[in-house]
């Protein structure tokens, strides 16, 4: 990336910018969802993912699948594996976004902490999933 210059946005990267904006706007709800899913499943199903195809929906990325993908891409996902391995659900949010032939790590420290966000948002996991999937669909279409 070159700072201070405007470059034409490629379709391959447009989803990344839109996703960054969505994350910025919905940090509290994403933290609440991450904590709610952690309470339900711990890390037994893997890392939370956002699959953007055919329409945005939340999935789990099993640890073994991420490790296998890392092998296929010549260990280019080592940093992601390290962040996932040291994930602290009571303090931060870690998700993997899956776009067309690309992935993007979503990682931020939540303020307030995810358990507080979950309490403040006051919705169950299913309601959060539905709301966030709908809003992300709208963000990506706009």
Q: Count how many domains the chain has.
A: 1
pLDDT (tens digit per residue) in 27-43: 999 999 999 999 999 88
Q: How many CB atoms neighbour CB 35 within 10 A?
A: 24
Within a domain: residue 2? no
In a domain? residue 123:
yes
> Per residue in 68-119, pLDDT tens?
999 999 988 999 999 999 999 999 999 999 988 889 999 999 999 999 999 9
Q: How far does CA 81 lie from the centroid of its chain?
A: 14
Tell me, yes or no, whether 32 lies in a domain: yes
User: What integer pLDDT is reported at residue 9 of this predicted model?
Assistant: 67
Domain assignment of residue 7, yes or no: no
Q: Where are the alpha helices (DSSP H) in 42-101?
A: 63-72, 78-85
| Poorest-pLDDT segment among 22-26, 42-46, 87-91 | 42-46
pTM above 0.85, yes or no: yes
Domain containing residue 63? 13-141
């Amino acid at each position: 990336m070159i700072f201070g210059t405007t470059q034409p946005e490629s379709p391959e990267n447009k989803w990344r910018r839109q996703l960054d904006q969505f994350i910025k706007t919905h940090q509290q709800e994403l933290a609440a969802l991450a904590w709610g899913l952690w309470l339900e499943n711990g890390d037994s199903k893997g890392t939370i993912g956002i699959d953007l195809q055919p329409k945005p929906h939340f999935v789990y990325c099993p640890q073994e699948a991420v490790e296998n993908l890392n092998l296929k891409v010549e260990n280019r996902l080592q940093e992601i594996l390290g962040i996932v391995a040291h994930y602290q659900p009571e303090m931060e949010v870690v998700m993997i976004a899956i776009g067309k032939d690309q992935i993007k790590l979503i990682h931020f420290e939540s303020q307030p902490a995810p358990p507080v966000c979950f309490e403040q948002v006051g919705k169950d996991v299913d309601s959060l999933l539905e709301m966030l999937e709908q809003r992300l669909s709208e963000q990506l279409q706009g």
